[in-house]
Structures are given as C-alpha cells and as structure tokens.
Amino acid sequence: MFPVTTKDKQNQIHVIHPRCKGCNFCVEFWPQHVLFQSNETNAKGYNTVRVSDSNKCTGCGMCSRVCPEFAIFVETPEGNK
C-alpha cells in the first residue's frame, strides 16, 4: 500500500502512509477539509491521514506545503494548471 492514491476528475491526492506521523497539520490547515486522521496505524504506530472527499480537492497543494514529513502531495493534470 505505497503510495495510496485517491483520484477525482481533476486531481490525484497521494498519501505515503509509511512517512505519515499523524501530526494533523494537513487536516487542520487544508481549507477544503478533504483529509481526516483515521484509526488505521502505519508500521511505526502512527494514526495516518486518509482522504474523505477527493471531489473537493482544488489542487492548491496546501497539504504538501504543511507536511513536515513530505508524506502527501497532489498531482494536477497539465491542462488544469
């Protein structure tokens, strides 16, 4: 399960769960409230982040900018930049 990818019509949200330390920065600072902290743990014992509604993703990249572990990023199709 590396990386976990959620697709919508425009953007792809990638969460690299082995890197996620469950700090919740991406959950708290992402304006669209697309992410949530799940009860699932990774190999290091951290509760990881999951995507709740990928259709709300605007491709702003805020999640990747606030992640101290580089555990999440968004791919935006070239035509939507």
Tell me what the mean pLDDT of segment 28-46 comes to: 89
- Closest to 1 (Cα-Cα) out of 22, 16, 11, 13: 16
**pLDDT tier at 1 (50, 70, 90 boundaries)?**
very low
Delineate the domains of the chain, giving CATH numbers in brackets.
4-73 (3.30.70.20)
**pLDDT tier at 33 (50, 70, 90 boundaries)?**
confident
User: Percent of the chain, pLDDT > 90?
Assistant: 49
**pLDDT tier at 71 (50, 70, 90 boundaries)?**
very high
Tokens of 52: 């709740």
Sequence length of the chain is 81
Alpha-carbon distance of 46 to 20, in angstroms, equals 7
Give backbone dihedrals phi and psi of 8, rounded to 5 degrees, phi first: -130, -170
Work out whether strand 72-75 and strand 12-15 pair parallel, antiparallel, or are unpaired.
antiparallel
